[in-house]
Structure formats: C-alpha cells, structure tokens
Amino acid sequence: MARDLSLLIPEIAVLLTAVGALSAEMLRAPRAALAIAVGGLLVATGLSWPLLGTDTTVFGGSFRIDALSVWAKLILLPATALCLLLARVDVRGTAREGTVYSLLCFATLGALALAGAGDAMFLVLGTLLTGLATFALVAYPDSDAATEAAMKFFVFASVTGAIMIFGLSYWFGAAGSTLLAELAGVEDMPLAVILGLIAVVVGLGYKASLVPFHFWAPDAYEGAPVSVAAYLSVVPKVGALFAFAQVVRDLPADSGWAPVMAGLAVVTMTYGYLAALVQDNAVRLLAYSSIAQSGYFLLGIVAVGTSALALPSLIVFAAAYAAMNLGAFAVVAGAGRTLDALAGLGRARPWIGVAMVIFLISLVGIPPLGGFVGKFLLFAAAIDAHYTWLAVVAIANSVLSLAVYLRIVVPMYRRVETAGATFPGQGAWIGVVTWVAFVATLAIGLAAQLILAGPMA
C-alpha cells in the first residue's frame, strides 16, 4: 500500500489542492483559493518529474504509472494553472469565485484518472469526475446561454456515459475482470470486444469531442466563460484521448479498432474545419478548431502497438496543443468573443498580434513551431503503421485549416481606429497566460529533440 500511494503522490496533491481551494472558498477567501489552487498544481507538477521513466501499475493493475499518465500530469497540471489565471479575470468578485478554482482542480483530477486508466472503472470514474465539475463550470454565468449550454452538455454526457457503462459490462463478462490488461485474452469473443469498443468510443468520443459526438462542444464553449472554454478544449480532451490510447493498447489486434479510429479521424478533422469556416464568433471558431485537432490525435492512437512513434507523437502534440490553444483563447479573452472584436488588434497591439499569429500558424502545423513537430510525428506514426492514406488526408486538412485561421488573422490587421482598445483593460493575468503559452509554443518546436530524448516509452 505504501509503495502504491508513493507513486500516486501527484494525484494526492491535486486532490488536497482541490479540497484546500474549496475550504478557502468556505472561509470567503477567494484570493487564497486561487493561490492554493495554482500553487498546489505547480507543486504536483514538480512531484511528477521524478516519475519519468517509470512503467508500472498500482492497486492490482487498475491504474498505470507510465509515459502517458506521467506526461499527462506534466502537461495538464500547468495547463490547468494557466486556466485558473484566466478564470480569475472571468469570475473575480462573483459570489462563488473560489468554487470555480476548486472545480477546475477536481475536473483535472478526473482527466488524470482517464490518462492513467488501467481498469474500466477508472474510465467511468474519470468521465464522471470531469463531467460533474465541468457541467457546473459551463453553467456558472447567470445567463440563458450558459444554462442552455450546460443542459445540453449534461444530457449528452448522461446518454453517452450510460452507453459506455452498459458496453463495458460486455468486456467484464468476456474477460471476467474490469482490468483492461485482461482484454488481450478475449480474442475468441469478438462480438463482446466490438460492443465494448463501440461503447467506449461513444463515451470517450464525447469527452474528446470527436465527430459525431461533438454536438455539445460549440454551444458549451460559447455559453461558458472563455477561461472555461479554454479549459474544456485542452484538459478533459487530452485526458480522454490518452485514455483511448490506454484502451487500444490492450485490445486484441484482430478486433478491427484501428480502421474505426482512422475513420473517426478523417470525419472529425474534415467536419471540424469545414464548420469552422462559416463561424463569425471567435469562440465557436476555436471550438470547431479544437474538434478538428482531436482528429489529429487519432493518428497517433491508430499507430499504438504498431509504431514506436505512437506514444511520443501523442505526448509531443498534446504539449504543443495545450500551449497554442490556451494562448489563442487567452487572446480572445482579452479582445472579445467575435471576429469583429479582434479587428485591428494586430495594428493596435503588435506584440499581442504576433503572439496570436504564432498560435494560429502553430495550429496549422507550420515549422519550426510546436504544432509542426507534433503533427510531423503524428504523420510519421500513421505512415509507420501503414496508414499512409490517413496521413495524406491529415495533410490536406492542414491546408484547409490555413483558410480557417486566416479568418482571424486577416481582420486582426485591418485598419480600425478603435481596435484593441479593450485588451489591456481585461487584466494582467491574460497577458501572463498569453506570454507563457507563446514561449511554450516556441520552445516545444525548437527543443523537441530534447523532449524526444527523454523517457517516452
């Protein structure tokens, strides 16, 4: 027991952080809640570093301490800390400010449970924990749009969650255990494997906003505070996609899961960008962009068990995606939700404009930025797994994405007399998040070799 708990110290630290932030809120000390939340997450990040290179399980194999789960902590904990700083701008002075900080920490704990899942019950636990916290976060603003978005989110999650739990019962019946590692021995019961896989695709696909399980995402992003939209676009999504990787690595090779993931990748990438092309709201545009980016993650998942590049590509792209997506949302949080609000920002605030352009072209995948390195590794992994056609489709969608992101860049450099006037008045934390994300986007691209040289497998 002591050995297992010692390997779970980062997760325990996140749990204590969430409880500490909630306690500070109960004492009506929201600034203390923010300090506890940010400080606790950074401490948990530091406690995760010594675990790099570890490949083991705890509590009878139900939770994995491996490359995916450790890197999930190193990526998602700092990302949550940045979202907390953005949330300070959105909820400062409101009645339950500290509750928001606590809920963000609880939701992150759920994402970490997903990323390290070695048991079907951890898939359920992670989905429920992230869901319950994020429903409340989406509904936090006192507006009809937020309430409607949260209800759609809740109903969609309830249905997909129920389907996943029902489907997981087939895996339990076939394997006689809820451990994912036991699935390798049920190749003689293909129907049970397929039914369980369909249910997991539904349950985790909603969390990762894969098409056709994405319908909640644009409305939830638009109705929620921008900081919560930024959080939803990164932390639960990466947790669910890492959970996908944990699941498929144990499925029988002949169960046909790889073509299913490849098909989902094509549909998700293409639909996401086509839908983004017609959006006038910057938050909705970034919502559809994040849907499309989920499709790219699936290239690495398709290659799990076949290519040695599969897990490194997922990890590097997740790190780059967190930085560039949070940066883009931070700029939108400072300038405004509509494309018109961004008009002229690049002229009025040149450095903010440069940062936004860097985030967007990194999302496209242009070198030498983090997005390029991540996508390059994903393409290489798909090709190595004999899915060259999928890499070609992904490259074609990257070209399409350029048209999407130009819809933001072009107005930013339009000559408008009052452009960018609101940005500096939105709070210093937005600037902090923007520049941390900017540095991370550049650093991941320029120092990718150092990341790849570290323990990834």
pLDDT tens digits, residue range 114-155?
999 999 999 999 999 999 999 999 998 878 888 888 998 999
CA distance 276 to 242: 25
Q: Is residue 437 part of a domain?
A: yes
Q: Give the DSSP letter string of 141-203.
A: SSSHHHHHHHHHHHHHHHHHHHHHHHHHHHHHHHHSSSBGGGGGG-TT-HHHHHHHHHHHHHH
pLDDT at 225 over 50: yes
Q: Is residue 400 part of a domain?
A: yes
Q: Is residue 281 part of a domain?
A: yes
Q: What is the pLDDT of residue 175?
A: 81
Q: What is the pLDDT of residue 421?
A: 47
pLDDT in tens, 375-409: 999 999 999 999 999 999 999 999 999 999 999 99
Q: What is the pLDDT of residue 141?
A: 86
Which among 17, 44, 47, 46 is positioned nearest to 32, based on CA atoms? 17
The residue written with tokens 């290179």 in the block is 53
Q: What is the pLDDT of residue 450?
A: 67
Question: Please, which residues bridge with residue 57 across strands?
Answer: 64
Q: What is the pLDDT of residue 186?
A: 76
pLDDT at 229 over 50: yes
Q: Is residue 91 part of a domain?
A: no
Cα 280 to Cα 285, 288, 351, 404: the distances in Å are 7, 12, 24, 11
CB atoms within 10 A of CB 222: 21
pLDDT at 41 over 50: yes
More confident residue, 252 or 325: 325
CA distance 431 to 453: 32
Which among 365, 220, 225 is positioned nearest to 295, based on CA atoms? 365
CA distance 79 to 449: 22
CA distance 19 to 79: 19
Q: What is the pLDDT of residue 425?
A: 44
Q: Is residue 371 part of a domain?
A: yes
Q: Would you place residue 449 in the very low, low, confident or very high pLDDT band (cuts 50, 70, 90)?
A: low
Q: What is the CA radius of gyration of the chain?
A: 21
Determine if residue 59 is left, alpha or beta; phi over 0 gives left, psi from -120 to 50 gives alpha, anything else beta.
left
Q: What is the pLDDT of residue 454?
A: 59
Residues spanned by the domain of 373: 256-457
Instruction: Pick the range with the lowest mean pLDDT from 74-83, 302-311, 314-323.
Output: 302-311
Q: Is residue 323 part of a domain?
A: yes
pLDDT at 252 over 70: yes
Q: Is residue 429 part of a domain?
A: yes
Three state DSSP letters for 83-137: HHHHHHHHHCCCCCHHHHHHHHHHHHHHHHHHHCECEHHHHHHHHHHHHHHHHHH
Q: Percent of the chain, pLDDT > 90?
A: 62
Q: What's the structural domain count of the chain? A: 1
pLDDT at 263 over 60: yes
CA distance 358 to 369: 8
CB atoms within 10 A of CB 285: 25
More confident residue, 328 or 344: 328
CB atoms within 10 A of CB 381: 27
The answer to whether the beta carbons of residues 179 and 119 sit under 8 Å apart is yes
Q: Is residue 142 part of a domain?
A: no
pTM of the complete model: 0.94
Q: Give the DSSP letter string of 389-406.
A: HHHHHHHHHHHHHHHHHH
